[in-house]
Amino acid sequence: MLLERTLHASLIVIFLSSCATPAVQYAEVGKVIEIERDVDSIPLALSKIVVKLRRLELLGRVQGGWLCVDQGPLEWQGGRINIATEEITEIFRDEMVKGGYPIVGDPNALFEDPEMSKAELLVGGSIKSLEANYCYPNIGLGDASTAKGGVFMEIDWQVYNTLDRKVVYQTTTKGSFDSQDARRDGSFLIFSTAFANATQNLMAEPGFYKLVTRPIDFAEVQNFKPIDTNINELAIFKDSIQTNNDRIAQAVVTVRTNSGHGSGFFMGNKGYIISNEHVVSGAKFVKIITSTGRELLGEVVRTDKARDLALITVGEARIGLPLNKSIGIVGQDVYAAGSPFLESFNLTITKGIYSSLRVSDRGFELIQSDVQVAPGSSGGPLLDENGNIIGVTVSGVGRGEMGINFFVPAKDLEKYLGIY
């Protein structure tokens, strides 16, 4: 009787083993380094996932029937293709969200996704090795969806900084998943779970966490809490603008985002920059480029969308330009400074006249001038004949008329941005 039971158990073990798919390599899943809510972080998005395999490269074996009888080799048919489909993108997004990572973008967007412009880091992956063994137990019944098996993959990751315009991080992670329970759409579920595990291993790397999180050396400013910029501490220029060219060159900057560039300028002496709200375009961090080519990291601390103003800080003391808060005189010479069209055209200065002080349809004042500005000049200063700031360039107003441009008066900056 004992011998009969032993033989029966052995036969069951042999039967079950014959129904199992061959094992793939195992990849341990590391502990994800989660981002806490009070830790500042950089918005990121998935750019693409590419399978970097040769066409007909051997992946593993295909089996069929309840006994998982070998049906032959499993070969990669696609060549080098982008597999960042909605499903894969959503899996990557879900893993990032669970870890507290600031993922942006809508994988279900039918057209251009405006949220993608907020991503300062773009993540891309290249699957350089892939093992897969699948069994389709109901294939004889015409069911090619139900499957079980295992997948192992190795992914080369790259992270591209849209502000620096270069790859800033590279690493390789592994992921695997094995399931001997046959499920509908099982082959994709197994593949996607292995991909999710490789993504978790990316989030387990201290280097990736350090890249996405950014320690802030200066306190984040709350809305309309007064900000001390020493805006009124700088003596007004009384000499000609030519005499103050060096100070102007030090103060006028290019503001770069992942969607383009605009202009800005230092004011006060505590490292604060004025630009346009539409230039920063919802970004929390921007790249500040001085006239000497030095690049600084700027944090957007306040915006006024209605008046198209933005306040940026670089966290270090910088001498800016003084403000002339007088109304101005019609007919006086004025100068616009900025980076029109291209970043390489930084510190372009054009001359015009103060035409009028207008009231916009929203009820606030704007300086009208015929001084020439162009895309890229937005956020730059309007200067008087001595080089003092009398306004901030705004774009998208009056473009239909040649020689008609508008500027937010300098006297309104303190009130609208809450600075002193």
The answer to whether residues 174 and 253 belong to one domain is no
CATH of the domain at 47: 3.40.50
The answer to whether residues 163 and 57 belong to one domain is yes
Q: What is the mean pLDDT of residues 297-316?
A: 90
What is the DSSP track for 132-179?
A: EEEEETTGGGT--S-EEEEEEEEEEEEEEETTTTEEEEEEEEEEEEEE
Q: Is-contact 144 71, C-beta < 8 A?
A: no
Q: Is-contact 401 387, C-beta < 8 A?
A: no
CATH of the domain at 394: 2.40.10.120
- Which tokens belong to 402? 């040649």
Domain membership flag for residue 179: yes
- Whether the predicted pLDDT of 401 surpasses 60: no
What is the pLDDT, as a whole number, of residue 62? 95
The answer to whether residues 169 and 255 belong to one domain is no
- Which tokens belong to 167? 């790859």
What is the pLDDT, as a whole number, of residue 162? 84
Please state the pTM of the whole predicted model. Answer: 0.62
Q: Give residue 216's pLDDT band: very low, low, confident or very high (50, 70, 90).
A: very low
The dihedrals phi and psi of 35, each to the nearest 5 degrees, come to -100, 120
The answer to whether residues 200 and 276 belong to one domain is no
The answer to whether residues 281 and 201 belong to one domain is no
Domain membership flag for residue 3: no
Give pLDDT tens digits for 287-297.
Answer: 999 999 999 99
What is the pLDDT, as a whole number, of residue 215? 53
Domain boundary among 212, 227, 249: 212
Q: Give residue 220's pLDDT band: very low, low, confident or very high (50, 70, 90).
A: very low
Q: Is-contact 370 353, C-beta < 8 A?
A: yes
Domain boundary among 212, 230, 260: 212
- Which tokens belong to 12? 């069951």
The answer to whether residues 344 and 389 belong to one domain is yes
Query: Between 108 and 239, whose confidence is greater?
Result: 239
Share of the chain above pLDDT 70, in %: 89
What is the pLDDT, as a whole number, of residue 186? 92
- Whether the predicted pLDDT of 167 surpasses 60: yes
- The count of domains in the chain is 2
Residue 405 and residue 104: Cα distance in Å, rounded?
Answer: 35
Give pLDDT tens digits for 226-264.
Answer: 888 888 888 999 999 999 999 999 999 999 988 889 999
- Whether the predicted pLDDT of 4 surpasses 50: no
Domain membership flag for residue 13: no
What is the pLDDT, as a whole number, of residue 127? 95
> Which residue matches tokens 């069994």?
135
- Which tokens belong to 399? 């473009």
What is the pLDDT, as a whole number, of residue 362? 65
Which element (helix H / strand E) includes 18?
A: helix 2-18
Which string of b and e fits 377-415 if b means at least 16 CB within 10 Å?
A: bbbbbbbbbbbbbbbbbbbeeeeeeeeebbbbbbbbbbe
Indicate the SS3 state at residue 114: helix
Give pLDDT tens digits for 37-95.
Answer: 777 788 899 999 999 999 899 999 999 998 999 999 999 987 778 887 788 989 999 99
Q: Give residue 19's pLDDT band: very low, low, confident or very high (50, 70, 90).
A: low
Q: Is-contact 137 182, C-beta < 8 A?
A: yes
The answer to whether residues 196 and 261 belong to one domain is no
- Whether the predicted pLDDT of 161 surpasses 70: yes
Secondary structure in 3-state letters for 227-288? ECCCCCCCCCCCCCHHHHHHHHHHHEEEEEECCEEEEEEEECCCCEEEECHHHHCCCCEEEE
- Whether the predicted pLDDT of 5 surpasses 60: no
Q: Give residue 6's pLDDT band: very low, low, confident or very high (50, 70, 90).
A: very low
Task: Using alpha carbons only, give the angle 281, 286, 289 rounded to the nearest 5 degrees.
Answer: 125
Query: Which residues fall within 8 angstroms of residue 383, CB to CB, at 6 or more apart?
Result: 241, 248, 321, 334, 335, 336, 337, 389, 390
The answer to whether residues 199 and 259 belong to one domain is no
The answer to whether residues 259 and 355 belong to one domain is yes
The answer to whether residues 245 and 169 belong to one domain is no
Neighbours of 93 (CB within 10 A): 19
- Whether the predicted pLDDT of 114 surpasses 80: no
Q: Is-contact 409 391, C-beta < 8 A?
A: yes
The answer to whether residues 268 and 169 belong to one domain is no
Query: Which residues fall within 8 angstroms of residue 251, CB to CB, at 6 or more apart?
Result: 265, 266, 267, 318, 319, 320, 321, 381
Query: Between 306 and 203, whose confidence is greater?
Result: 203
Residue 371 and residue 377: Cα distance in Å, rounded?
Answer: 11
Domain membership flag for residue 156: yes
Domain membership flag for residue 398: yes
What is the pLDDT, as a whole number, of residue 214? 66
Q: Give residue 382's pLDDT band: very low, low, confident or very high (50, 70, 90).
A: very high
What is the pLDDT, as a whole number, of residue 119? 85
Exposed, middle or buried by CB within 10 Å (0-12, 13-18, 19+), for 150? buried
Task: Among 85-89, 97-101, 237-241, 388-392, name the one with the lowest average pLDDT.
Answer: 85-89
The answer to whether residues 191 and 55 belong to one domain is yes
Domain that holds residue 51: 21-212
Q: Give residue 118's pLDDT band: very low, low, confident or very high (50, 70, 90).
A: confident
Domain membership flag for residue 235: no
Domain membership flag for residue 279: yes
What is the pLDDT, as a whole number, of residue 18? 45
Residue 150 and residue 21: Cα distance in Å, rounded?
Answer: 8
Closest to 213 (Cα-Cα) out of 284, 125, 312:
284
Share of the chain above pLDDT 90, in %: 60
- Whether the predicted pLDDT of 131 surpasses 90: yes
Closest to 116 (Cα-Cα) out of 94, 91, 95, 89:
89
Residue 249 and residue 380: Cα distance in Å, rounded?
Answer: 12
Q: Is-contact 234 320, C-beta < 8 A?
A: yes
Q: Give residue 224's pLDDT band: very low, low, confident or very high (50, 70, 90).
A: low
Q: What is the pLDDT of the chain when averaged over all its residues?
A: 86
